[in-house]
Protein backbone atom coordinates (compact mmCIF):
# COMPACT_ATOMS: atom_id res chain seq x y z
CA UNK A 1 0.00 0.00 0.00
CA UNK A 2 1.35 3.41 -0.97
CA UNK A 3 2.06 6.10 1.61
CA UNK A 4 -0.59 8.36 0.09
CA UNK A 5 -3.23 5.61 0.17
CA UNK A 6 -2.44 4.77 3.80
CA UNK A 7 -2.70 8.46 4.74
CA UNK A 8 -6.07 8.67 2.99
CA UNK A 9 -7.41 5.64 4.90
CA UNK A 10 -6.06 6.94 8.21
CA UNK A 11 -7.77 10.29 7.60
CA UNK A 12 -11.08 8.43 7.37
CA UNK A 13 -10.44 6.12 10.36
CA UNK A 14 -8.83 8.57 12.79
CA UNK A 15 -12.01 10.42 13.89
CA UNK A 16 -13.62 7.10 14.88
CA UNK A 17 -10.42 5.93 16.57
CA UNK A 18 -10.31 9.19 18.53
CA UNK A 19 -13.91 8.65 19.62
CA UNK A 20 -13.12 5.07 20.72
CA UNK A 21 -10.13 6.36 22.74
CA UNK A 22 -12.37 8.93 24.44
CA UNK A 23 -15.02 6.31 25.21
CA UNK A 24 -12.40 3.92 26.60
CA UNK A 25 -11.27 6.59 29.08
CA UNK A 26 -14.91 7.15 30.12
CA UNK A 27 -15.47 3.40 30.51
CA UNK A 28 -12.27 3.06 32.57
CA UNK A 29 -13.35 5.88 34.89
CA UNK A 30 -16.73 4.19 35.42
CA UNK A 31 -15.17 0.79 36.04
CA UNK A 32 -12.82 2.33 38.60
CA UNK A 33 -15.77 4.07 40.27
CA UNK A 34 -17.64 0.74 40.35
CA UNK A 35 -14.59 -0.94 41.90
CA UNK A 36 -14.31 1.73 44.61
CA UNK A 37 -18.00 1.31 45.40
CA UNK A 38 -17.56 -2.47 45.54
CA UNK A 39 -14.63 -2.05 47.95
CA UNK A 40 -16.82 0.06 50.28
CA UNK A 41 -19.52 -2.61 50.01
CA UNK A 42 -16.93 -5.25 50.91
CA UNK A 43 -15.97 -3.33 54.07
CA UNK A 44 -19.61 -3.24 55.17
CA UNK A 45 -20.00 -6.97 54.44
CA UNK A 46 -16.91 -7.74 56.50
CA UNK A 47 -18.19 -5.62 59.39
CA UNK A 48 -21.51 -7.50 59.23
CA UNK A 49 -19.78 -10.91 58.89
CA UNK A 50 -21.34 -11.44 55.46
CA UNK A 51 -19.63 -13.40 52.67
CA UNK A 52 -18.07 -11.40 49.84
CA UNK A 53 -19.51 -13.56 47.07
CA UNK A 54 -23.29 -13.30 46.72
CA UNK A 55 -24.39 -15.57 43.87
CA UNK A 56 -28.01 -14.39 44.05
CA UNK A 57 -27.03 -10.72 43.80
CA UNK A 58 -24.63 -11.41 40.89
CA UNK A 59 -27.35 -13.31 39.07
CA UNK A 60 -29.77 -10.40 39.56
CA UNK A 61 -27.21 -7.89 38.26
CA UNK A 62 -26.55 -9.91 35.09
CA UNK A 63 -30.26 -10.49 34.53
CA UNK A 64 -30.95 -6.75 34.87
CA UNK A 65 -28.24 -5.94 32.34
CA UNK A 66 -29.58 -8.35 29.71
CA UNK A 67 -33.08 -6.94 30.18
CA UNK A 68 -31.72 -3.42 29.66
CA UNK A 69 -30.33 -4.27 26.22
CA UNK A 70 -32.29 -2.62 23.39
CA UNK A 71 -31.79 -4.50 20.11
CA UNK A 72 -32.82 -1.45 18.11
CA UNK A 73 -29.80 0.44 19.48
CA UNK A 74 -27.37 -1.99 17.85
CA UNK A 75 -24.09 -2.86 19.55
CA UNK A 76 -23.40 -6.00 21.58
CA UNK A 77 -25.88 -8.83 22.04
CA UNK A 78 -26.79 -10.47 25.39
CA UNK A 79 -24.05 -13.12 25.24
CA UNK A 80 -21.29 -10.56 24.68
CA UNK A 81 -22.67 -8.23 27.37
CA UNK A 82 -22.79 -11.09 29.88
CA UNK A 83 -19.20 -12.05 29.03
CA UNK A 84 -17.93 -8.50 29.59
CA UNK A 85 -19.84 -7.88 32.83
CA UNK A 86 -19.00 -11.32 34.21
CA UNK A 87 -15.35 -10.30 34.15
CA UNK A 88 -16.10 -6.88 35.65
CA UNK A 89 -18.08 -8.47 38.49
CA UNK A 90 -15.31 -10.99 39.21
CA UNK A 91 -12.65 -8.25 39.21
CA UNK A 92 -14.70 -6.04 41.56
CA UNK A 93 -15.35 -9.02 43.83
CA UNK A 94 -11.61 -9.66 43.99
CA UNK A 95 -11.06 -5.97 44.81
CA UNK A 96 -13.30 -6.38 47.88
CA UNK A 97 -11.21 -9.30 49.09
CA UNK A 98 -9.35 -12.10 47.29
CA UNK A 99 -11.62 -15.14 47.14
CA UNK A 100 -9.87 -18.36 48.21
CA UNK A 101 -11.05 -21.44 46.34
CA UNK A 102 -10.00 -25.09 46.73
CA UNK A 103 -10.29 -27.32 43.66
CA UNK A 104 -9.12 -30.70 42.38
CA UNK A 105 -5.72 -29.83 40.98
CA UNK A 106 -3.27 -29.29 39.59
CA UNK A 107 -3.61 -26.29 37.26
CA UNK A 108 -4.86 -27.10 33.80
CA UNK A 109 -7.44 -29.69 34.84
CA UNK A 110 -11.14 -29.38 34.04
CA UNK A 111 -11.81 -28.56 37.69
CA UNK A 112 -9.35 -25.67 37.41
CA UNK A 113 -11.11 -24.47 34.25
CA UNK A 114 -14.47 -24.57 36.06
CA UNK A 115 -13.00 -22.64 39.02
CA UNK A 116 -11.67 -19.97 36.66
CA UNK A 117 -15.06 -19.76 34.96
CA UNK A 118 -16.86 -19.18 38.26
CA UNK A 119 -14.42 -17.10 40.28
CA UNK A 120 -12.21 -15.35 37.69
CA UNK A 121 -8.43 -15.24 37.35
CA UNK A 122 -7.97 -12.84 40.28
CA UNK A 123 -9.18 -15.39 42.85
CA UNK A 124 -6.64 -17.29 44.95
CA UNK A 125 -6.81 -20.95 43.91
CA UNK A 126 -5.68 -23.76 46.21
CA UNK A 127 -5.23 -27.06 44.35
CA UNK A 128 -5.90 -30.33 46.16
CA UNK A 129 -4.26 -33.66 45.38
CA UNK A 130 -7.60 -35.42 45.82
CA UNK A 131 -11.22 -34.58 46.57
CA UNK A 132 -10.83 -35.28 50.28
CA UNK A 133 -8.17 -32.56 50.49
CA UNK A 134 -10.39 -30.15 48.50
CA UNK A 135 -13.17 -30.62 51.07
CA UNK A 136 -10.79 -30.39 54.04
CA UNK A 137 -9.25 -27.10 52.84
CA UNK A 138 -12.69 -25.43 52.87
CA UNK A 139 -13.88 -27.19 56.05
CA UNK A 140 -10.88 -25.86 57.99
CA UNK A 141 -11.34 -22.31 56.68
CA UNK A 142 -8.21 -22.15 54.56
CA UNK A 143 -10.52 -21.61 51.55
CA UNK A 144 -13.88 -19.86 51.48
CA UNK A 145 -15.20 -22.14 48.75
CA UNK A 146 -14.61 -25.64 47.44
CA UNK A 147 -15.44 -26.52 43.86
CA UNK A 148 -16.00 -30.24 43.23
CA UNK A 149 -17.13 -32.32 40.22
CA UNK A 150 -20.61 -33.76 40.72
CA UNK A 151 -21.91 -35.36 37.52
CA UNK A 152 -20.80 -35.92 33.94
CA UNK A 153 -23.20 -36.42 31.04
CA UNK A 154 -21.43 -39.55 29.77
CA UNK A 155 -19.69 -40.96 32.86
CA UNK A 156 -22.48 -40.22 35.35
CA UNK A 157 -22.33 -39.25 39.01
CA UNK A 158 -18.97 -38.78 40.77
CA UNK A 159 -19.20 -41.32 43.58
CA UNK A 160 -16.39 -39.95 45.71
CA UNK A 161 -18.07 -36.54 45.83
CA UNK A 162 -21.26 -38.15 47.20
CA UNK A 163 -19.24 -40.06 49.81
CA UNK A 164 -17.59 -36.84 51.01
CA UNK A 165 -20.87 -34.91 50.96
CA UNK A 166 -22.34 -37.45 53.37
CA UNK A 167 -19.69 -36.57 55.98
CA UNK A 168 -19.08 -32.83 55.51
CA UNK A 169 -20.59 -29.80 57.21
CA UNK A 170 -20.07 -27.69 54.08
CA UNK A 171 -23.18 -26.33 52.35
CA UNK A 172 -23.96 -26.43 48.65
CA UNK A 173 -24.25 -22.82 47.47
CA UNK A 174 -24.20 -23.13 43.71
CA UNK A 175 -23.87 -25.30 40.63
CA UNK A 176 -22.16 -24.62 37.32
CA UNK A 177 -21.71 -26.60 34.13
CA UNK A 178 -18.55 -26.85 32.04
CA UNK A 179 -18.49 -28.17 28.48
CA UNK A 180 -15.93 -30.94 28.20
CA UNK A 181 -13.73 -30.28 25.16
CA UNK A 182 -10.84 -32.75 24.86
CA UNK A 183 -7.63 -31.85 23.01
CA UNK A 184 -4.59 -33.89 21.96
CA UNK A 185 -1.26 -32.17 22.79
CA UNK A 186 2.45 -32.96 22.68
CA UNK A 187 5.77 -31.11 22.36
CA UNK A 188 6.06 -31.26 18.55
CA UNK A 189 2.53 -31.43 17.07
CA UNK A 190 3.27 -34.40 14.77
CA UNK A 191 0.59 -37.11 14.98
CA UNK A 192 2.86 -39.72 13.31
CA UNK A 193 5.51 -39.46 16.07
CA UNK A 194 3.10 -40.23 18.93
CA UNK A 195 3.61 -43.69 20.42
CA UNK A 196 1.90 -43.30 23.81
CA UNK A 197 -1.00 -41.24 25.09
CA UNK A 198 -0.93 -40.46 28.82
CA UNK A 199 -4.10 -39.16 30.44
CA UNK A 200 -6.77 -39.71 33.07
CA UNK A 201 -8.84 -42.87 32.38
CA UNK A 202 -12.00 -40.82 31.86
CA UNK A 203 -10.36 -38.65 29.21
CA UNK A 204 -9.13 -41.76 27.39
CA UNK A 205 -12.54 -43.42 27.66
CA UNK A 206 -14.36 -40.40 26.27
CA UNK A 207 -12.23 -40.45 23.11
CA UNK A 208 -12.36 -44.17 22.27
CA UNK A 209 -13.79 -43.73 18.78
CA UNK A 210 -11.37 -40.95 17.77
CA UNK A 211 -8.38 -42.87 19.07
CA UNK A 212 -9.41 -46.10 17.30
CA UNK A 213 -9.80 -44.22 14.02
CA UNK A 214 -6.76 -41.94 14.17
CA UNK A 215 -4.22 -43.68 16.43
CA UNK A 216 -4.91 -47.42 16.29
CA UNK A 217 -2.40 -49.49 18.24
CA UNK A 218 -0.97 -46.54 20.19
CA UNK A 219 -0.41 -47.32 23.88
CA UNK A 220 -2.96 -45.71 26.21
CA UNK A 221 -1.38 -45.08 29.61
CA UNK A 222 -3.76 -44.12 32.49
CA UNK A 223 -2.57 -41.30 34.76
CA UNK A 224 -3.91 -39.85 38.02
CA UNK A 225 -4.84 -36.61 36.19
CA UNK A 226 -4.63 -35.00 32.79
CA UNK A 227 -2.03 -32.64 34.26
CA UNK A 228 0.14 -35.64 35.17
CA UNK A 229 -0.21 -36.75 31.56
CA UNK A 230 0.91 -33.30 30.40
CA UNK A 231 4.05 -33.57 32.55
CA UNK A 232 4.82 -36.93 30.95
CA UNK A 233 4.30 -35.49 27.45
CA UNK A 234 6.63 -32.63 28.27
CA UNK A 235 9.36 -35.05 29.37
CA UNK A 236 9.01 -37.57 26.51
CA UNK A 237 8.53 -36.53 22.87
CA UNK A 238 6.93 -39.87 22.01
CA UNK A 239 4.12 -39.19 24.51
CA UNK A 240 1.02 -37.04 24.06
CA UNK A 241 -1.74 -36.05 26.45
CA UNK A 242 -5.49 -35.68 26.07
CA UNK A 243 -7.04 -33.02 28.28
CA UNK A 244 -8.44 -29.52 28.60
CA UNK A 245 -7.05 -27.10 25.94
CA UNK A 246 -5.54 -24.92 28.70
CA UNK A 247 -2.94 -27.64 29.37
CA UNK A 248 -1.17 -26.48 26.22
CA UNK A 249 -0.61 -23.06 27.79
CA UNK A 250 0.33 -24.29 31.26
CA UNK A 251 2.79 -26.91 29.99
CA UNK A 252 4.01 -25.24 26.77
CA UNK A 253 2.63 -28.01 24.55
CA UNK A 254 1.52 -27.93 20.91
CA UNK A 255 -2.08 -28.75 20.01
CA UNK A 256 -2.33 -31.65 17.55
CA UNK A 257 -6.12 -31.90 17.33
CA UNK A 258 -9.14 -30.63 19.23
CA UNK A 259 -12.70 -31.71 20.08
CA UNK A 260 -11.80 -35.39 20.25
CA UNK A 261 -14.66 -36.40 22.56
CA UNK A 262 -17.04 -39.04 21.15
CA UNK A 263 -20.08 -37.12 22.44
CA UNK A 264 -20.05 -33.46 21.45
CA UNK A 265 -22.56 -32.48 24.15
CA UNK A 266 -20.36 -33.83 26.93
CA UNK A 267 -20.67 -31.64 30.05
CA UNK A 268 -19.77 -31.81 33.73
CA UNK A 269 -21.72 -30.26 36.60
CA UNK A 270 -19.72 -28.86 39.52
CA UNK A 271 -20.94 -27.98 43.01
CA UNK A 272 -19.80 -24.83 44.82
CA UNK A 273 -19.48 -25.49 48.55
CA UNK A 274 -18.96 -23.12 51.47
CA UNK A 275 -19.61 -22.94 55.20
CA UNK A 276 -22.69 -20.72 54.69
CA UNK A 277 -26.21 -21.40 53.43
CA UNK A 278 -27.61 -19.60 50.40
CA UNK A 279 -30.74 -17.47 50.35
CA UNK A 280 -33.77 -18.32 48.16
CA UNK A 281 -33.68 -17.05 44.57
CA UNK A 282 -37.12 -18.19 43.43
CA UNK A 283 -35.72 -20.88 41.11
CA UNK A 284 -33.79 -23.19 43.39
CA UNK A 285 -32.95 -26.84 43.83
CA UNK A 286 -32.20 -28.50 47.18
CA UNK A 287 -29.77 -31.36 47.69
CA UNK A 288 -30.08 -33.72 50.67
CA UNK A 289 -29.23 -37.28 51.69
CA UNK A 290 -30.94 -39.81 53.93
CA UNK A 291 -30.59 -43.37 55.16
CA UNK A 292 -33.76 -45.46 54.99
CA UNK A 293 -34.65 -48.16 57.55
CA UNK A 294 -33.59 -51.64 56.45
CA UNK A 295 -37.09 -53.04 55.99
CA UNK A 296 -39.74 -53.54 53.30
CA UNK A 297 -41.23 -50.38 51.77
CA UNK A 298 -38.97 -47.97 53.70
CA UNK A 299 -37.69 -46.12 50.60
CA UNK A 300 -41.24 -45.64 49.36
CA UNK A 301 -42.31 -44.26 52.75
CA UNK A 302 -39.39 -41.79 52.75
CA UNK A 303 -40.19 -40.52 49.25
CA UNK A 304 -43.97 -40.47 49.58
CA UNK A 305 -44.03 -37.09 51.43
CA UNK A 306 -42.42 -35.43 48.41
CA UNK A 307 -45.21 -36.63 46.13
CA UNK A 308 -47.90 -35.65 48.63
CA UNK A 309 -46.41 -32.15 48.94
CA UNK A 310 -46.14 -31.93 45.11
CA UNK A 311 -42.39 -31.39 45.36
CA UNK A 312 -40.71 -32.48 42.13
CA UNK A 313 -37.76 -34.86 42.44
CA UNK A 314 -35.02 -34.00 39.91
CA UNK A 315 -32.20 -36.39 40.95
CA UNK A 316 -31.94 -39.64 42.90
CA UNK A 317 -28.68 -41.49 43.51
CA UNK A 318 -27.79 -44.30 45.89
CA UNK A 319 -24.36 -44.90 47.42
CA UNK A 320 -23.07 -47.66 49.72
CA UNK A 321 -23.02 -46.50 53.33
CA UNK A 322 -19.32 -46.73 54.22
CA UNK A 323 -20.23 -46.86 57.94
CA UNK A 324 -22.69 -49.77 57.56
CA UNK A 325 -21.84 -52.57 55.09
CA UNK A 326 -24.64 -53.53 52.65
CA UNK A 327 -26.69 -50.48 53.56
CA UNK A 328 -27.15 -47.43 51.35
CA UNK A 329 -27.47 -43.65 51.45
CA UNK A 330 -29.86 -41.93 49.06
CA UNK A 331 -29.08 -38.51 47.61
CA UNK A 332 -32.01 -36.39 46.39
CA UNK A 333 -32.21 -33.20 44.41
CA UNK A 334 -35.62 -31.59 44.48
CA UNK A 335 -37.20 -28.39 43.21
CA UNK A 336 -37.45 -25.53 45.68
CA UNK A 337 -35.35 -24.00 48.46
CA UNK A 338 -35.07 -25.74 51.81
CA UNK A 339 -36.66 -22.61 53.36
CA UNK A 340 -39.79 -22.86 51.15
CA UNK A 341 -42.86 -23.86 53.18
CA UNK A 342 -43.86 -26.93 51.20
CA UNK A 343 -40.25 -28.11 50.97
CA UNK A 344 -39.88 -27.70 54.74
CA UNK A 345 -42.98 -29.83 55.34
CA UNK A 346 -41.87 -32.49 52.86
CA UNK A 347 -38.37 -32.76 54.35
CA UNK A 348 -39.72 -32.95 57.90
CA UNK A 349 -42.00 -35.82 56.87
CA UNK A 350 -39.10 -37.56 55.11
CA UNK A 351 -36.91 -37.17 58.20
CA UNK A 352 -39.62 -38.77 60.34
CA UNK A 353 -39.41 -41.93 58.18
CA UNK A 354 -35.61 -41.98 57.69
CA UNK A 355 -32.96 -43.35 60.02
CA UNK A 356 -30.88 -40.24 59.38
CA UNK A 357 -31.10 -37.30 57.00
CA UNK A 358 -29.31 -34.03 56.26
CA UNK A 359 -29.98 -31.09 53.96
CA UNK A 360 -26.81 -30.23 52.02
CA UNK A 361 -27.99 -26.87 50.71
CA UNK A 362 -29.95 -25.07 48.02
CA UNK A 363 -28.75 -23.47 44.79
CA UNK A 364 -29.78 -22.28 41.36
CA UNK A 365 -29.53 -25.23 38.97
CA UNK A 366 -27.06 -25.27 36.10
CA UNK A 367 -28.69 -23.84 32.98
CA UNK A 368 -27.50 -26.51 30.55
CA UNK A 369 -29.58 -29.60 29.85
CA UNK A 370 -28.88 -32.64 31.98
CA UNK A 371 -29.21 -36.35 31.07
CA UNK A 372 -30.31 -39.22 33.26
CA UNK A 373 -27.40 -40.10 35.59
CA UNK A 374 -25.54 -43.40 35.85
CA UNK A 375 -23.73 -44.89 38.83
CA UNK A 376 -19.97 -44.81 39.20
CA UNK A 377 -17.40 -46.49 41.39
CA UNK A 378 -16.20 -45.19 44.75
CA UNK A 379 -12.78 -44.10 43.52
CA UNK A 380 -13.89 -41.98 40.58
CA UNK A 381 -12.83 -38.36 40.17
CA UNK A 382 -12.85 -35.87 37.36
CA UNK A 383 -9.64 -35.89 35.26
Q: What is the CATH number of the domain that holds 128?
A: 3.40.190.10
Q: Is 145 helix (H, G, I), strand (E, B) or coil?
A: strand
Is the Cα torsion angle 4, 9, 15, 19 positive or negative in sign? negative
Are 79 and 104 in a shared domain?
Answer: no
Say how many C-beta atoms besides its own lie within 10 A of residue 380's C-beta: 19
Angle, helices 3-47/78-96, rounded to nearest 10 degrees: 50
Taking the chain (383 residues) in runs of 10, the rounded mean pLDDT of each run is 80 90 93 91 83 77 87 84 87 83 86 87 88 94 92 83 93 88 90 90 87 91 87 92 88 90 84 88 90 85 89 90 82 93 92 91 68 37 43
Are 129 and 173 in a shared domain?
Answer: yes
Paired residues of 361 in beta bridges: 172, 287
CA 146 from centre of chain: 10
Query: Please, how many CA atoms are within 13 Å of residue 227, restricted to the half-sphere of its CB?
Result: 17
Q: Are 262 and 204 in contact (CB under 8 A)?
A: no
Q: Give the DSSP per-residue string, 301-369.
A: HHHHHHHHTTPPEEEEEEEE-TTSTT-EEEEEEEES-TTSHHHHHHHHHHHHHSSEEEEEEEEPPPSS-
Are 361 and 289 in a shared domain?
Answer: yes
List Cα–Cα distances, 139 to 164, 273, 309, in angstroms. Answer: 12, 10, 34
Q: Are 255 and 183 in contact (CB under 8 A)?
A: yes
Closest CA to 382 of 211, 229, 207, 203: 203
Are 52 and 196 in a shared domain?
Answer: no
Is 5 a domain residue? no
Are 239 and 358 in a shared domain?
Answer: no
Are 308 and 364 in a shared domain?
Answer: yes
Are 191 and 147 in a shared domain?
Answer: no
Give the number of domains in the chain. Answer: 4
d(CA 107, CA 115): 10
Three-class HEC string of 219-238: EEEECCCHHHHHHHHHHCCC
d(CA 29, CA 174): 32
Are 270 and 165 in a shared domain?
Answer: yes
Alpha helices by DSSP H, listed for the chain, are: 3-47, 55-68, 78-96, 110-119, 131-139, 159-165, 201-205, 208-214, 226-235, 246-251, 298-308, 341-353
Are 311 and 200 in a shared domain?
Answer: no
Is 12 a domain residue? no
Residue 136 has a pLDDT of 95
Are 75 and 196 in a shared domain?
Answer: no
Is 15 a domain residue? no
Q: Which residues of 284-313 are buried (b: 16+ CB within 10 A; e: fewer)?
A: bbbbbbbbbeeeeeebebbbebbeebebee
Are 272 and 290 in a shared domain?
Answer: no
Is the Cα torsion angle 246, 247, 248, 250 positive or negative in sign? positive
Q: Are 317 and 269 in contact (CB under 8 A)?
A: no
Q: Which residues touch 229 (CB under 8 Å, ≥6 apart)?
A: 197, 198, 199, 200, 203, 221, 223, 239, 241, 242, 243
To the nearest 10°, the Cα dihedral for 250, 256, 259, 260?
-110
State the residue range of the domain holding 149. 100-179+266-276
Amino acid sequence: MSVDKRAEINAILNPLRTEIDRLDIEILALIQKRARTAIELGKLKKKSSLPIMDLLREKQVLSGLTQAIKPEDGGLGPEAVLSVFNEIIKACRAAQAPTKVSFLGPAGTFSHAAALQQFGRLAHFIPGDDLAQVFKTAEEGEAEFALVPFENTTEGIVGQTLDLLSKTNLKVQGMLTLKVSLTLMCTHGDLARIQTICSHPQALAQCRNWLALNLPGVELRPMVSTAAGASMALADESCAVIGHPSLATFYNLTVVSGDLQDFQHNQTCFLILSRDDSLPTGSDRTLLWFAAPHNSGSLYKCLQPLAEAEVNLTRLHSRPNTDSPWEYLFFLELEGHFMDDKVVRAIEALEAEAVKARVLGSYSPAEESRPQPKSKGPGDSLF
